[in-house]
């Protein structure tokens, strides 16, 4: 077994990854700001806030001390929302050394800078960075429901090391070199998942969902190719796999948020119902701003989601406008 691993983030995904890691690693330490979460993990081996019914393995403990979590292990899983990445990495940078490896798990793009999580991390940290992404709902991973994911790094040996360190019989990891492609796929699929929820909220059916997922993938590919990423990435777990699960699952917070919008709720009310970070809301804003400066790139689903969320466009009208666009060849964007 490996010796130790640190996990920053006491939410559902950080807790699920801690449980996965605990099968291969002697000691797992979780950082959580919420002192009640820390207390419940240390006293009851449970995260009562997210998984009150799940018993965590005994080799998992928790702390609210950032310096301790960084010094605990050279391998650090970073499991915080995209909008918290910059402030957190800036705060912990004084404790980080080049021998550390940061394993990034958030799926989003930072507004204004338009940077992925690994790019934000790179502003403050010069050591190794790996991105862990794919079709993974924490609610299933923590229950050991078979799951497959990718570990992406520009350094193949590093990706393989993380693969060997975290892979279990129920948590299969593949390696990939296209770190930016993986991050783009994970971020933009959240926009499509919001759109998927909107169509569900309106009451549309399977035909609509299939068209949305397929054309949503086309938008992800178009965007990814403009960023000089690998086309193959979007056919895999981080692309199509993550898109399918997020557009269909009851666990998907982006889809659940979209359902409320489709039923007529405001952005604020929908967010309150979900009561968790909905990455797609910020990501669609970031991508919309990018499209304003790159008019040759057409992402109609993304643009309609933006209009619904930020310009109060009626969801049914948005779908009608998508359906009545000019006729095209299906793969025009690849020619």
Q: Which residues contact 328 (CB under 8 A, 6 or more apart)?
A: none
Terminal CA-to-CA distance of the chain, rounded, Å? 49
| Residues known to be catalytic | 189
Q: List residues bridging with 28 in a β-sheet.
A: 5, 60
How many CB atoms are closer than 10 A to CB 217? 20
pLDDT tens-digit profile, the chain (335 residues): 469 999 999 999 999 999 999 999 999 999 999 999 999 999 999 999 999 999 999 999 999 999 999 999 999 999 999 999 999 999 999 999 999 999 999 999 998 899 999 999 999 999 999 999 999 999 999 999 999 999 999 999 999 999 999 999 999 999 999 999 999 999 999 999 999 999 999 999 999 999 999 999 999 999 999 999 999 999 999 999 999 999 999 999 999 999 999 999 999 999 999 998 899 999 999 999 989 888 889 999 999 999 999 999 999 999 999 999 999 999 888 86
Question: What local confidence, expressed as pLDDT, does residue 2 receive?
Answer: 62
For the chain, how are helix, strand and coil distributed in percent, rounded to 5?
55, 15, 35
Environment class of residue 18 by beta-carbon count within 10 Å: exposed (0-12), middle (13-18) or buried (19+)? Answer: buried
Q: DSSP letters of 92-153?
A: HTTT--TT-EEEE----B-TTT--BHHHHHHTT--SEEEEEESS--HHHHTTT--EEEEEE-
- Please report which helix (H) or strand (E) contains residue 222, including its range: helix 206-226
The region, left, alpha or beta by phi > 0 then psi within -120 to 50, assigned to residue 114 is left
Q: Which domains does the chain have, with CATH numbers?
A: 2-177 (3.40.50.720), 180-334 (1.10.1040.10)
Whether residue 79 contacts residue 13, with contact meaning beta carbons closer than 8 Å, is answered with yes
Edge-first strand order for the sheet with 75-78 is 60-63, 25-31, 2-8, 75-78, 101-104, 128-133, 147-152, 171-176
**Helix, strand, or coil here: 76?**
strand
Question: What local confidence, expressed as pLDDT, does residue 296 receive?
Answer: 87
Say how far apart CA 260 and CA 262 lie, in whole Å.
5
> Which of 152, 292, 282, 134 lies closest to 229, judged by CA?
152
Q: For residue 219, what are its two tokens?
A: 């938008």
């Amino acid at each position: 077994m490996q010796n130790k691993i640190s996990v920053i983030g006491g939410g559902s995904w950080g807790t699920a990854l801690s449980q996965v890691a605990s099968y291969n690693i002697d000691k797992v330490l979780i950082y959580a700001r919420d002192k009640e979460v820390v207390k419940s993990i240390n006293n009851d081996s449970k995260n009562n806030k997210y998984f009150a019914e799940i018993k965590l393995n005994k080799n998992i403990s928790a702390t609210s001390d950032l310096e301790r979590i960084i010094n605990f292990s050279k391998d650090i899983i970073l499991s915080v929302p995209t909008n918290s990445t910059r402030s957190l990495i800036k705060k912990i940078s004084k404790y980080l050394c080049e021998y550390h490896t940061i394993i990034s798990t958030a799926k989003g793009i930072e507004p204004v800078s338009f940077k992925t999580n690994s790019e934000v991390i790179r502003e403050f940290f010069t050591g190794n960075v790996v991105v862990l992404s794919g079709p993974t709902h924490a609610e299933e991973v923590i229950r050991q429901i078979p799951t497959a994911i990718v570990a992406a790094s520009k350094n193949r040996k590093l990706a393989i090391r993380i693969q060997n360190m975290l892979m279990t019989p129920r948590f299969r990891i593949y390696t990939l070199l296209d770190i930016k492609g993986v991050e783009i796929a994970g971020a933009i699929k959240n926009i499509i998942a919001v759109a998927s929820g909107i169509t569900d909220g309106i009451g549309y059916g399977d035909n609509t969902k299939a068209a949305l997922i397929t054309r949503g993938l086309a938008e992800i590919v178009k965007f990814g190719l403009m960023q000089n990423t690998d086309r193959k990435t979007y056919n895999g777990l981080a692309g199509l796999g993550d898109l399918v699960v997020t557009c269909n699952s009851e666990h998907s917070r982006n889809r659940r948020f979209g359902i409320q919008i489709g039923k007529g709720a405001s952005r604020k009310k929908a967010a309150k119902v979900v009561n968790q970070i909905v990455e797609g809301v910020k990501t669609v804003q970031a991508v919309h701003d990018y499209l304003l400066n790159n008019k040759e790139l057409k992402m109609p689903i993304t643009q309609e989601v933006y209009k619904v969320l930020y310009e109060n466009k009626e969801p049914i009208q948005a779908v009608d406008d998508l359906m009545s666009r000019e006729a095209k060849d299906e793969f025009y964007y690849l020619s």
